[in-house]
Structure 1
Amino acid sequence: MAKVVAINISQKKGEKKIPVEKAVFIENFGIEGDAHAGDWHRQVSLLAEESADKIRAAGMPEIKEGDFAENITTHGIEVSKLPIGTKLRIGETIQEVTQIGKECHQHCAIYHQVGDCVMPREGIFTKVLKGGVVAAGDSIEVID
């Protein structure tokens, strides 16, 4: 079963996100209190724990949730394989996949240390279609 490992937020763009127990997701906006929230297509970012495990295995075992600046760390679902337009029920919310990966303008500290970063290739972005609360441990379900 796919699930939420962690919810992560930050006050400013360009910094690691800090795990929180739960967060309020606002329709057509994103996560309350997160720097990336707003009226655009990249309201929420997701990265699979399995993707982060690749970097851990490459020499950074200390990597933790939020270090890739992802809002939701997932487990049990290959988020990078979901087509754009896929709808997900995550906790009380419904979100739609709007972008797979992103351009990496300035290589992060992780890239400089191990020579790779998975977020630009395997991270995804969603838009919040139906708001609600999401907490660590909540299930993630692909819906039609």
Structure 2
Amino acid sequence: METEHAAGYLVSIQTGRPQRLDFKGRCVSSAINKTPRSGAVPVRFRQVDGDFQAEPSVHGGPDKAVLMFSADRYPYWEDRLGIESRPGLFGENLTVAGLHEEIVCIGDKLRIGTALLEVTEPRQPCYKLGAWLKQPKLPLWVKETGYGGYYLRVLEEGAVEAGNSVELQRHPLQVTVKEAFDVFYDRSPGWSAKAERVLAVEALGADWRQALRKRFEKGAVVLPVELPEQA
């Protein structure tokens, strides 16, 4: 591992509870609507304190305890969606300055406040993100760009607060979140070598690892955007 260095700072913290969300005339449950938190907020091994999931089978847990999103991506989405952004709009728990998907690598460790976090896998959004922002094509646009954020596991519980610096300890293999995301949709002849590079990172989340291994078994096919909901 490389020595820790300041790579950005924590802009804001958000948590939420399941609420009703309209999707094509029917109600679904989602906790994507997050509320800003002030002061020091505890980060637990399975979630940010006060954050809940509508579908615990695909949300939260050790590999997806925290969802992080870079504020650097919001100007792009403001233009693409024609809306005014705010921290937490993409359903993230932690909004950071810098540290977007083309900078951060799977296995990187992030020290924020007294918590130590580890990058595990890209965020794979589903239809609920599009329903929340009233743009059904949004999951496909995230697929095109990879600008959806990423998940963290908690190595050391602690407290985080807006304004905290983010100290980054780089994983030696340096497989970016964007690279891990793009592998899902790669149909080129060299796909397997790229996938092997991602799978070599021991910190990769179990769901992502399993999905990539299934692709090895079935061949390089494009996965549907409606993977288990991670909105």
TM over 0.5: yes
State the partner residue of 1:90. Answer: 112
**CA RMSD, Structure 1 to Structure 2 (Å):** 2.4
The question of 1:4 aligning with 2:21 is answered no
The question of 1:142 aligning with 2:178 is answered no
Separation in 2, partners of 1:69, 1:15 = 5
Note the C-alpha offset of 1:42: 0.5
User: Match of 2:76, SS?
Assistant: helix
Q: One-letter code of the match for 2:43?
A: F
Taking structure 1 as reference, are residues 33 and 109 closer, same or farther at Cα in structure 2, changes over 3 Å only? Answer: closer
Taking structure 1 as reference, are residues 46 and 74 closer, same or farther at Cα in structure 2, changes over 3 Å only? Answer: same
The structure having more radius of gyration, on CA atoms, is 2
Structure 2 residues not aligned, in runs of 5+: 1-6, 19-29, 54-58, 171-231
Taking structure 1 as reference, are residues 119 and 67 closer, same or farther at Cα in structure 2, changes over 3 Å only? Answer: farther
Q: One-letter code of the match for 1:4?
A: L
The question of 1:101 aligning with 2:123 is answered yes
Taking structure 1 as reference, are residues 119 and 46 closer, same or farther at Cα in structure 2, changes over 3 Å only? Answer: farther
Taking structure 1 as reference, are residues 135 and 119 closer, same or farther at Cα in structure 2, changes over 3 Å only? Answer: farther
Structure with more helix by fraction: 2
Separation in 1, partners of 2:110, 2:10 = 12
Q: How does 1:19-98 map to 2 (within 5 A)?
A: 19-21=36-38, 22-26=40-44, 28-36=45-53, 38-58=60-80, 59-60=82-83, 62-98=84-120
Note the C-alpha offset of 1:84: 1.5
CA deviation profile, 1:112-141 (whole Å, cap 9, x unmatched): 18x536766331000111111101110111
Structure 1 residues not aligned, in runs of 5+: none
Q: How does 1:93-132 map to 2 (within 5 A)?
A: 93-106=115-128, 107-110=130-133, 112=135, 115-116=137-138, 121-122=146-147, 123-132=149-158
Note the C-alpha offset of 1:80: 4.8
Note the C-alpha offset of 1:14: 3.3
Taking structure 1 as reference, are residues 126 and 32 closer, same or farther at Cα in structure 2, changes over 3 Å only? Answer: same
User: Match of 1:41, SS?
Assistant: helix
Separation in 2, partners of 1:49, 1:75 = 5
Structure with more strand by fraction: 1
Separation in 1, partners of 2:71, 2:142 = 11
- The sequence identity of aligned pairs, in percent, is 26
Please, what TM-score do these two structures have when normalized by structure 1? 0.84
Ranges of 4+ aligned residues in structure 1 off by more than 6 Å: none
State the partner residue of 2:222. Answer: none
Q: Which has the higher contact order (CA 8 A, sep 6+)?
A: 1
The question of 1:16 aligning with 2:39 is answered no
Separation in 2, partners of 1:47, 1:95 = 14
